[in-house]
Structure 1
Amino acid sequence: MTVTEENAPASHYDRIGGASSVKAAVELFYDKVLADPVSAAYFADVDMASQRRHLAMMLTVVLGGPNEYTGRGLAEAHQPLNIPVAHYVKVGEYLTVTLAELGVPADILADVQTVLGQVQGQVVSAGNRSGA
């Protein structure tokens, strides 16, 4: 049997409800991030409307949706910020909690957490990688 578009497994993106669900997750996620004074400080001079669009596009890709992301790479965008591991982990927790609150299934949460682990070195500054 060959896999056709009709019987292909749904992507995580499709399983959670597509673009509207990703947008809801991004909104709730940034509500959490911006309520935390430590995390919010990283966004003090950031155009949050643009930031929300970028994260929605990136999260869409992570979840197997259409790749329309055209922004900077993770390292280019984050290395100048000197983000320590503890801050990265906290923001990752905000994302995981947000997705769980929205009813995202455990297998998708696990895959998102795997990706967070894979990209940590691109986000955390080299001088801050050894611990919290």
Structure 2
Amino acid sequence: MTVTQDTTPVSHYERIGGAGSVKAAVELFYDKVLADPELAGYFTNVNMAEQRRHLALMMTVVLGGPDEYAGRGLAEAHQPLGIPVAHYVMVGEHLTATLAELGVPADVIDHVRTVLGQVQDQVVASGTGPDA
């Protein structure tokens, strides 16, 4: 009898431990963001349970897990907030610090950084970029 090994690549989502790990990262991330006086104001009138759920679904997709996100698009949700680049960068730093603190492998964190760079224009307010 020959045993064949499954060569299906394991997603970043699976590598970090799936839904439980994503949820833990989202909880810690929002603890950091809400404790940051420069960022907390964005969440004053936000249902944080729903916000956490949305981010967990988005992070799952970013990490190659199942796509169950059905919320608003990034631009629709963020453009009205007038988020400057500096605040976007701070949020990204909180996210990558959270992932590092939880022991997420460096290549996965690098992937998240890449995605953050790719979606920045959808989140940052028009006219606040480096070429504005």
TM-score bin, normalised by smaller chain: over 0.9
Which runs of 5 or more residues in structure 2 are unaligned?
A: none
When normalised by structure 1's length, the TM-score is 0.94
User: 1:51 maps to which residue?
Assistant: 51
Q: 1:130: Cα distance to partner?
A: 2.2
Paired AA for residue 111 in structure 2 = D
Find runs of 4+ consecutive structure 1 residues off by over 4 angstroms: none
When normalised by structure 2's length, the TM-score is 0.94
Change (3 A) 1:6 1:33: same
Change (3 A) 1:40 1:5: farther
User: 2:11 maps to which residue?
Assistant: 11
Q: 1:5: Cα distance to partner?
A: 9.4
User: What SS is found at the alignment partner of 2:39?
Assistant: helix
**22-31 or 36-45, which moves further after superposition?**
36-45
User: 1:66 maps to which residue?
Assistant: 66
Q: 1:7: Cα distance to partner?
A: 1.8
User: How many correspondences in the alignment?
Assistant: 128
User: 1:94 maps to which residue?
Assistant: 94
CA RMSD of aligned residues (A): 1.4
**47-56 or 35-44, which moves further after superposition?**
35-44
User: What SS is found at the alignment partner of 2:7?
Assistant: coil
Distance 2:120 2:110 in 1: 15
